[in-house]
Chain A
Amino acid sequence: MNNITKTFGSKVVFRNLNIEIEQGKFITIVGKSGIGKSTLLGIIGSFEKVSDGKIIFEDREIKKPDKNRIMIFQSFDQLMPWKTVRENIEFPLKHLDIEGLDIENILIELDLKDVENHYPYQLSGGMKQRVAIGRSIITKPRMLLMDEPFGSLDVGTRYNLQRLLMHVWDAYKMTVVFVTHDVNEAVVLGNDIWILNENEILQIANPIMKPRDISDVNFQIFVRELVQKIK
């Protein structure tokens, strides 16, 4: 992203921001609330228009959302209530008319086989987010953009979904940009952790080896360092 400037009325959120996202990375973005994490993610996905600057994706300038950069939201209403689990996951394939991943494998890997014919209202929050992940990976996108997808889930479910997401990322080799307000989550998931402060992005490589254990002393020291850098 070159020289991105984003304003809301007279408020400048970003000024001349330059960032580069490397293919295949898992990047987590943290920062205090209201700093513009979701806005930044929206800009990467072209859901938010920039006031100035260019977004280049694989040598092409892009202006509209497309199937290469799929967004996963926090809110549960991203699923279609009138479609079953299976139909929700298959939805993009039908509309894009492309060959995607095998739906059976996805249902099994995301542990949704038993509920494939359920409607969203019959699912728990964690299951709904698993369906959203299933739908987003079935088209084999280059990049997943996740806006606090586990934000409304309880600790246990969140832990399980973090493991699952790591597995999906390993298996399908997609670039992931993951926004969270939880620094622990950022360190569990990210190769790189970006701290978003007022008009500055600190990019920090994650030194903790996988599998990352929250109770590990080094993990906690690193988290403390990061927290001190959030302004």
Chain B
Amino acid sequence: MFYKLPNTLIDTLRNWLPVFYSTTLVTFSIGLYYAIYNSPPDYIQGDSMRIMYVHVPAAWLSLGSYSILAISCIAWFVFRNPIFNLFAKSIAPIGAVFTIIALVTGSIWGKPTWGTWWAWDARLTSMLILFFLYIAYMMTWQVIVNKELAAKISAALGTIGFINIPIIKFSVDWWNTLHQPATISKLSAPSIHISMLTPLMLMTIAYLFLLITLFLIRYKTELVEVKISRIKH
């Protein structure tokens, strides 16, 4: 199945990529316009709240990409089709970058809002660990020279990480309740006003398109690499 895919798939991707480029550009312009100009400042946080429009979608999608990565890894175990490996391999660096964006913007937002750059609570710690899981996954492909073996080991690793994130979150929660009162209860107010929800949703869609575009570029590259290595052998 996999052996017939690359040729046609690479061409299809090449044809469709410009569409994704432009969609990303358009959605980002609209989203940023709403986020920066066309939305009210928060009545407590003021304009610093606008960081949310960059931060929250990045955080959602960094978690989302890890789920995709882990599900592709598990799917590889089930179907043993190399295509799932390429899926996971292509999404890992994008997810890592989104995690960094979420962490950095989160710190910048945290300083004016809670008066601290960082707190060792469950959410932040597991985000940081998530970043290292991405790094570990990507390193696997470099550390293990034999590509077939790297595929198998990295699939195992992606799955391990999937189990580990909830465990860490649970442990840190438990640790926090024991050692210090929860300083930060919630990131955003429980109900969000429609005038803020619109830019947030628009930005999420823009981020989503960015994710898809970057993913397709990387996926195409991976496919080409597989093709080249086939020719070399």
The answer to whether A and B assemble together is: no
User: Which A residues are closer than 8 A to B by beta carbons?
Assistant: none
